[in-house]
Structure 1
Amino acid sequence: MGAADPPHTLGAPDALGLVQALQALRRRSSGEPGFWDEYAAGLRHLCRARRVWIAGRVDGTDAAPADGSGWQLLGAVAEVALPVAGALDAATLASLQALAPRAADKGFALMPVTHEGVALFHLAVRQAGERPVLALIEIPQRERASLNELALRAQLVADMPGVGAPAGVAVEEGVPAASPTLPALLALATEVQRAAHGSAARLALVNGLAALSGASHVALGWVDEGRAQLAAISHLDRFEAGTDLAALVEAAMDESLAHEGVLQADQTPVLQRLGEALGLPAVCAMALGPEDGPPEAVLLFALPEGRAVDEPGLARVRGMAALVLPRLAELRQRERWWGLRARDALRLRLASWLGPRHVWPKAVAVAAGLFVLYAAFATWDYRVHGTGQLATDSTRVLAAGYDGRVDSAETSAGERVQSGQLLATLDTRELRQQENDADAEVRRFGAEADKARAAAAWAEMEVATARQRQAQARLARVREALAQAEVRAPFDGVIVEGERKDLLGAPVKKGDKLFRIARVEGLYVVATVPEGDMPLVPAQASGELVLVSDPDRRIPLRVTAVIPVAQTKGQDGNQFLLRAEMQQPAADWWRPGMSGAVRIDAGERNVAWILTHRLVDKLRLWLWW
């Protein structure tokens, strides 16, 4: 394919497709049609560029003539909205002319340019091979903070086997274990990108790096709030995060966060202690992350004696990590607890407002300051809290009419009863016997009085008549007690006290309470409030009652009376009773004695006073003299 042919589009914007496309391109030769256009497309995606040109020297030398001639366009690609000419224009030739000497010396060169009024950067990267070839990459201004990272990415693929090599030359597969090469790292990146779960992706990364570098152990750590947290160790599916060795690994990773580049064991005692603990003298760590931001992860290598990862190999590892870190971060974020995800999202939002350093202390200080201002000037509706109980004055106590035993009990507390309904019966056997005895005495004394009258024994007649009257009075009392043996409901209502199981067969004395019955009418609320809040309750105050049996319903109240005598309730201290009327009709299922929580409106108060008045009152009492 010639330079004027339409460019191929290599690699999808996602990292996995790009890595796979670059792997496939590496196995081809630069002499194949379309190679340079596809290579340019890969560079554009890899470096997030607007346009990419691949140009080679016609004469095969690095020396660039003064007039800018001698360059041949091998391939080019651009964003959809940008044109790509079939030949190098004057502006492109000028950039090549200016950047070629430095790129030939250092491998890359960078300079700012302005094209059609748009500020850009031109990056020239020398490609490996016998023939001088430059890749000119046009980077937009928005990527200014990532220029170093993008230059490193372009250099990592500058040694593509096909570049400058004749067709048919095979790519060498064997590589030194201590110097991972780009093909092997790209293959590892593909494996990591394909992993469906975060743990599998992390384990694939550390195991692959251990195999490529010949390291005994490779560890990956995530950076959270400036501290490294161990995430994966090669050859270990699981590990104990709280062990001394794991803490030492995390401490070594923390050391690398403040160090630019690769931190070696001879540069810090922490890495030396870790090497001694592992029995491996060669230990190094490097922080990974964007050029313009804080580190996101840390890689740690522990190698046996005589092995070391060289600088080019570590640079290639860093470039490969830049490709897979977004995928690893995505998997990690997806698998985290939703609360942690929400916390991180909030932290990012706060960081955009307050700055990236010390986000939480700043946020707490700002929130505290705003709350202090709000509390000093704002007001809330203050409510006095207490307890309440439904009560009624239409109650009647039903007591035992004589000493005896409960023979039967027909009802229990909570049951509705009708007027005249039998509630309980007392044992009447002894009273029946007394009734028979009294009746017999009445008849006997009547017969004696008649006999004395017939004999004209008037004195004896008077005595017998008096005894007969006494027997008749005793008989009347017994029959009156028998009439009280049946306890019946005096009116329609609800039994509020008295249990069948407790009364049945129980001995009782005259006047002992058997039942308490109440009418379900005229209900009101008796509320108790603490002594300290009593002065805050205004006259005719309004409020609400929430019953324990129906917490979703709020019953409006109005205070009608205050009982001015305090009652002591254990540890709660003194309590005052309030009587309040309900401002809505009573429900059918409400019963006297039902309890709940009461809130009484005490007017608007300053927020700071509401939050502190109890503490202030206690301090005043403690410090009073």
Structure 2
Amino acid sequence: MGTDIIPPDDLRPARIRRWLARQGRLITGGATRGYLYLSSHELDNHPEPSLRCYWPDHFDEPGYFLRVCSRAEKEQRGVVLSFQEEQGVLKKEGHSGGSVHIAYPLLFANGQYLVSAFELYPKDQQQLHAAMLQLESGLRWLKDELLTSEKQRAENTKPLLTLARLQTQVQQGESFTEAAQLLVNSLEKILACQRISLALYQKNRAHLAVISSQAIRDNASPVVRDIEQAMEECYDQGKQILYPQTSATPECITLRHRNLAKTQGSGSLMSQPVPGNDTEPGLILLAERSATTSFQPAEAHFFEATALALTPTLLTKLYKEYRLTTLLSLRVKEGYRKILTKKTRMQVTAATTVALLLFCFFARGDFRVEADVTLSGTIVRGIVAPFPGYVAEAQKNAGDHVEAGETLAILDTTDLSLDQLSWTSKYTQADLEYRKAVADNDTSRAKIIAEQKKQAEIQLSLLQLQKERAEIKAPFSGIITTGDLSQSVGGPVERGKLLFEMVPDNGFKILAQVDEKDISLVEKGQLGTLVFNSLPRKNFRFSLTTITPVATAVEGHNSFRVEATLEEQSSDRLLPGMKGYGKITVGRKPLVYIWTRNLLDRLRLLRWKLLP
């Protein structure tokens, strides 16, 4: 039955053949054959119609059927032709005994013509007119049916197209968060919701990931917690929840959904879980809508299909953000679950736990005491003002590296120069008086003046020495740790005032603060390793040299000062004052002792306090 010609859209042969057979029975005048043609109507081109279906079953297409259909399409009206004449309209007199071919065209909005033609034997003009009316009515019914089917098909495919667009949008997200945000924002518009939330279910609780059209600023806020609790309620039941419930929805527990609707003013809620497993997190979607509009069954089905279809894509983007160690752990767990049964897994877990405990009790490791450390110089030289005066120049400041003999600062020598001129004048006068006394042979006076001359000479030497000391120089090569005279140029300084402090280049020591609970374990000569805050990638070894038996309070705890020497003194990256974190190796102990020592000591102290 039928034809091999493939019909477009809904022009299926079986369907059209049933329509042709029905029309053949309804048309008065004894219809014997029927044909249905389809053609495209264009202004400048009129191609011949193509046959889509025929009735009855045997195929016979006389040429006049095609001609009558082409004429009906061209004239855009019903056409009647007799078998005896190929052109012109049937005469008005009776037509008993002769066959007549009628055709009627029907135009669709897409420019296509549907033309139907029948062969019949009418007895008179009245039967012919009735046959034309029946054919026109039947074609219009067929057109309505085709349009209704097209609309229904469009409605059925609309959710699939929407889901495909969502899939494309999610794929465009570069990260899990971005892709999830695109999904919830699109769902908010499609479902006309107030808010769409998406969460991951991990470690037996929901973790809210994104909210539509807004950012999550505080994960501990009441709103976030209410949403997460409603999602957990949905995930625990493992099925979609619609709130408020009706007689048509499955019975569910909705306590958390009711609380969320009450606190946030949402009249309708819809949540959908996608279960996970030990290696993959679950996913939960939650939609909120105002009280005036509830969720329809079609929307619930679309919501469920969206969650199930897009979860693999979102999880793929989530795995890309995981570290390599996390991915390896997930794959190991997955393989572990697939290879071993539940009973075997329990046995392996128990055996592994016992083996780890035995290893911790018998294996030994380095027991190290922790301490905060500071880098200091082995020699700290203070440079003071040699005489009272004023600062003339400040050439170096704290942090500068200087060589031995390099000028650090210069004091003003104006007063010294004036004193030097005064004493030079006194010395010259004393020398003249001394020569006169010698010439007069006044021995006693000559001795007195000689003493005055000697005093002036000493004062001049002292002033000259002070002028030389006015240029303050570095006693050795090193780093200035304190001292900044750049803001004191022109200011007075007293004799003995500390101007600079210096430490040598390679002379460093370590000052460590050891907590009082660990000081009993520390001894001279023990080795340790430290890391400075400014050099976290390099370890420095040190050796203890001095333990100060005096406790000092540091950050609310008593600690003892311990000094140590660095094995590496030549690093140009070491600067006095650098702080870090050190560990002193005090021996080898079992691993379980190393990990539980602090806890056990605290329990012992607590027991001592509580027991009478």
How has the CA–CA distance of structure 1 residues 321 and 243 changed in structure 2, closer, same or farther, with 3 Å as cutoff?
Answer: closer
- Unaligned runs of 5+ residues in structure 2 are 2-7, 18-141, 171-179, 217-222, 277-281, 343-348
1:425 deviation in Å? 1.9
Distance 1:286 1:462 in 2: 119
Give matches, 1:61-76, under 5 Å.
Answer: none
Deviations 1:378-399 (A, max 9, x none): 5543332223344444554332
Distance 1:499 1:531 in 2: 37
Structure 1 contact 384–533 (Cα < 8 Å) conserved? yes
2:522 to 517, 533, 537: 537
Structure 1 contact 223–298 (Cα < 8 Å) conserved? no
Distance 1:596 1:229 in 2: 37
What SS is found at the alignment partner of 1:597? strand
2:559 to 575, 587, 590: 575
What SS is found at the alignment partner of 1:521? coil
Distance 2:567 2:358 in 1: 38
Identity %: 22
Structure 2 contact 234–273 (Cα < 8 Å) conserved? no
Give 2:585's aligned residue.
Answer: 601
Structure 1 contact 271–284 (Cα < 8 Å) conserved? no
How has the CA–CA distance of structure 1 residues 440 and 257 changed in structure 2, closer, same or farther, with 3 Å as cutoff?
Answer: same
Distance 2:335 2:365 in 1: 30
Give 1:519's aligned residue.
Answer: 504
Aligned pair 1:587/2:559, yes or no?
no
Deviations 1:292-313 (A, max 9, x none): xxx99899999999x998xxx9
Give matches, 1:27-426, under 5 Å.
Answer: 29=14, 185=156, 188-189=159-160, 191-193=162-164, 195-197=167-169, 257=239, 264=247, 326-334=308-316, 379-393=364-378, 396-426=381-411
How has the CA–CA distance of structure 1 residues 239 and 172 changed in structure 2, closer, same or farther, with 3 Å as cutoff?
Answer: farther
Structure 2 contact 184–198 (Cα < 8 Å) conserved? no
Structure 1 contact 382–610 (Cα < 8 Å) conserved? yes
What SS is found at the alignment partner of 2:546? strand
What SS is found at the alignment partner of 1:510? coil
1:562 to 523, 546, 550: 546
Give 1:610's aligned residue.
Answer: 594
Distance 2:354 2:590 in 1: 17
Aligned pair 1:448/2:433, yes or no?
yes
What SS is found at the alignment partner of 2:555? helix
1:250 deviation in Å? 9.4
1:485 deviation in Å? 1.8
How has the CA–CA distance of structure 1 residues 330 and 366 changed in structure 2, closer, same or farther, with 3 Å as cutoff?
Answer: farther
Give 1:439's aligned residue.
Answer: 424
How has the CA–CA distance of structure 1 residues 556 and 231 changed in structure 2, closer, same or farther, with 3 Å as cutoff?
Answer: closer
1:207 deviation in Å? 10
How has the CA–CA distance of structure 1 residues 576 and 454 changed in structure 2, closer, same or farther, with 3 Å as cutoff?
Answer: same
How has the CA–CA distance of structure 1 residues 190 and 539 changed in structure 2, closer, same or farther, with 3 Å as cutoff?
Answer: same
Structure 1 contact 445–468 (Cα < 8 Å) conserved? yes
Please say which of residues 455-464 and 424-433 is displaced more in the overlay: 455-464
Aligned pair 1:474/2:474, yes or no?
no
1:616 deviation in Å? 3.7
Structure 1 contact 206–220 (Cα < 8 Å) conserved? no
Distance 1:607 1:570 in 2: 30
The letter for the 1-side match of 2:533 is V
How has the CA–CA distance of structure 1 residues 434 and 542 changed in structure 2, closer, same or farther, with 3 Å as cutoff?
Answer: same
1:552 deviation in Å? 1.6
Give 2:482's aligned residue.
Answer: 497
1:174 deviation in Å? 5.8
How has the CA–CA distance of structure 1 residues 374 and 264 changed in structure 2, closer, same or farther, with 3 Å as cutoff?
Answer: farther
Give 1:103's aligned residue.
Answer: none
Q: Which has the larger radius of gyration?
A: 2
Distance 1:521 1:582 in 2: 10
How has the CA–CA distance of structure 1 residues 508 and 27 changed in structure 2, closer, same or farther, with 3 Å as cutoff?
Answer: farther
The letter for the 1-side match of 2:163 is V
Give 1:133's aligned residue.
Answer: none
Distance 2:355 2:147 in 1: 64
1:279 deviation in Å? 8.8
Normalised by the size of structure 1, how large is the TM-score?
0.51
Structure 1 contact 189–324 (Cα < 8 Å) conserved? no
Give 2:44's aligned residue.
Answer: none
1:328 deviation in Å? 3.5
1:535 deviation in Å? 2.5
Structure 2 contact 552–558 (Cα < 8 Å) conserved? yes
Deviations 1:298-349 (A, max 9, x none): 99999999x998xxx99xx97x999876423334435668669979968977
Normalised by the size of structure 2, how large is the TM-score?
0.52
Distance 1:612 1:229 in 2: 33
1:586 deviation in Å? 1.1
Structure 2 contact 528–542 (Cα < 8 Å) conserved? yes
What SS is found at the alignment partner of 2:589? strand
How has the CA–CA distance of structure 1 residues 602 and 286 changed in structure 2, closer, same or farther, with 3 Å as cutoff?
Answer: closer
1:401 deviation in Å? 1.5
1:190 deviation in Å? 5.6
How has the CA–CA distance of structure 1 residues 350 and 203 changed in structure 2, closer, same or farther, with 3 Å as cutoff?
Answer: farther
Distance 1:489 1:207 in 2: 76
Distance 1:390 1:232 in 2: 48
1:424 deviation in Å? 2.1
Distance 2:477 2:275 in 1: 82
Deviations 1:452-491 (A, max 9, x none): 4444554444433333333333333323322322222334
Distance 1:400 1:299 in 2: 77
1:520 deviation in Å? 1.9
The letter for the 1-side match of 2:309 is R
1:428 deviation in Å? 1.3
The letter for the 1-side match of 2:247 is Q
Distance 2:471 2:163 in 1: 90
Structure 1 contact 545–598 (Cα < 8 Å) conserved? yes
What SS is found at the alignment partner of 1:516? strand
Structure 2 contact 240–271 (Cα < 8 Å) conserved? no
The letter for the 2-side match of 1:328 is L
Structure 1 contact 192–201 (Cα < 8 Å) conserved? no
Distance 2:483 2:391 in 1: 13
Distance 2:400 2:387 in 1: 25
Distance 2:470 2:193 in 1: 98
Give 1:50's aligned residue.
Answer: none
Structure 2 contact 482–502 (Cα < 8 Å) conserved? yes
1:405 deviation in Å? 1.6
Structure 1 contact 399–512 (Cα < 8 Å) conserved? yes
2:494 to 485, 509, 516: 509
Structure 1 contact 29–169 (Cα < 8 Å) conserved? no
How has the CA–CA distance of structure 1 residues 449 and 206 changed in structure 2, closer, same or farther, with 3 Å as cutoff?
Answer: closer
The letter for the 1-side match of 2:554 is G
Distance 1:387 1:576 in 2: 11
Distance 1:191 1:231 in 2: 23
Please say which of residues 198-207 and 439-448 is displaced more in the overlay: 198-207
Distance 1:387 1:284 in 2: 56
